[in-house]
Amino acid sequence: MIIITGGAGFIGSAVAWKCNIQGREDLIIVDHLNTSEKWKNLLNVKYDTYLQKSDFLDRLVSGSLPKIDAIIHMGACSSTTEQNMDYLMKNNVDYTLALMEWCLQNNVRFIYASSAATYGNGEHGFDDNHLIIPKLRPINRYGYSKQLVDEYALKKGYLDKCAGLKFFNVYGPNEYHKDEMKSVIAKAYSQIKDTGKLKLFKSYKPQYPDGGQLRDFVYVKDCVEAIWWLLENPQINGIYNIGTGQSRTWNDLAAAVFNAMNYPVDITYIDMPESIRNQYQYYTEASMQKLIDHGYLKSMTSLEAGIADYVHHYLAQKFAHLAV
């Protein structure tokens, strides 16, 4: 059995989709659906069992689950604006560490989601060398919760036995339930469809023009390719960036969406809410050399190609979900 926590969420459901493509349907999906639209991400997924997040850990520890090959832990609060630090400590930190400890004690493959938010303002760069981990200073609570897990794994020597993935700006199908946390691409499609225009945040740093802020945007299909590779290569462990290795501007992203939709580019720059101005990353770019050096040879999808695929095959098809 492969367990996927957050298996109805954005990246988690895409991992389940990839497992199905590879002939694996012996999946246990762990999530907390409540009244969200996440259940739609499971419509095209073949899996053995669904477990409530609140029940899963007890069943795992009690030994009542079938033999487990791996736990792919994508479950977490992924909101970069979440303010309840106690909730993040319990949900993102304690839960992850409990799963990590169990997997290492029971010789089960463990792959977990970290985040590029751990890099903060980028003053120490974006290199996934383990030596940099203690120096990082995230600028929001979400990033700090992910940083604590990485620091713990490093301190305990666990990074030689499991894989942590620092996802950069992920976009693609199955993110539709994420409301304000959806990628700008998904939001842009709806805005452009409705108005023919797109709103982007102004820059508040003189070295970056409006819309010139830089991010590393990575297609979710590339993310799950890397996860599957790590699943097939359990000897490859440590912290790895998951991005493209090339930063692009929000203006580049906007132009790619307009072009994919066959609309003329029409951007309006709006004020950034004061509540996020001090937590805003103006530049991110994943160093991908470490993953390549360890044998990962697949190339990442360009921003233009990824957006074209997303727009034509998913967003334009009334927000279609990944399907085998």
Q: Are 74 and 114 in contact (CB under 8 A)?
A: no
Residue 24, C-beta contacts closer than 8 angstroms, at least 6 positions apart:
2
Give catalytic residues, as residue numbers.
142, 178
CA dihedral for 73, 77, 81, 86, sign (positive or negative): negative
Contacts 24+ apart (CB under 8 A), 308-312: 308/256, 308/259, 308/260, 309/219, 309/221, 310/171, 310/172, 310/173, 310/185, 310/219, 310/260, 311/185, 311/189, 311/257, 311/260, 311/261, 312/260
User: Which stretch of DSSP H or E encloses residue 55?
Assistant: helix 53-62
Amino acid at 40: K
Name the CA radius of gyration of the chain, rounded: 19
User: Which stretch of DSSP H or E encloses residue 227?
Assistant: helix 220-232
**Which burial class, exposed, middle or buried, applies to 302 when counting CB atoms under 10 A from its CB (0-12, 13-18, 19+)?**
middle
Alpha carbon dihedral 31, 34, 39, 40, in 10-degree steps, equals: -140
DSSP codes joined into one string, 121-171: T-TT-S---GGGGGG---SSHHHHHHHHHHHHHHHHTGGGTSEEEEE-EEE
Q: How far is 260 from 309, CA to CA, in rounded Å?
A: 9
Residue 233, C-beta contacts closer than 8 angstroms, at least 6 positions apart:
295
